Amino acid sequence: MSDTAKLDPVVEAFVDALNAQDTDQFYGVLTEDATMSDDGVERNLAQWTEAEIFRSNGHLVVDTVDSDDGLALTADYTNSRWGSMRTTWRFVLRDGLISRFETGQA
């Protein structure tokens, strides 16, 4: 069951773009210098998103919003590369866009 009503609107747009496989909308909610990590390891954002989201049909089903500001969530993430796994996502905003996200297994 999705709990996106409590997400920050920019995070909700990130989730929507990811699920729609809409690269323009996805990169449109990120700052030009956005960074990310996966399981605590810094990753090249463009390479990671291409491999883990867009080439592998990534899909995120939000289970819970884990912060009052709507910038953290737990979700079931599925892609054709790894299958389905429970994940956490945390976001940092700057000037109304996502400047960093951190994801990893929950």
Long-range contacts of 73-82 (CB under 8 A, 24+ apart): 73/3, 73/7, 73/11, 74/106, 77/103, 79/52, 79/53, 80/56, 81/51, 81/52, 81/56, 82/56
Does the predicted model carry a pTM greater than 0.75? yes
Confidence band, pLDDT 50/70/90 cuts, at residue 47? very high
pLDDT tens-digit profile of 18-32? Answer: 999 999 999 999 999
Please tell us whether the domain made up of 4-105 is placed in CATH 3.10.450.50: yes
Domain ranges of the chain: 4-105
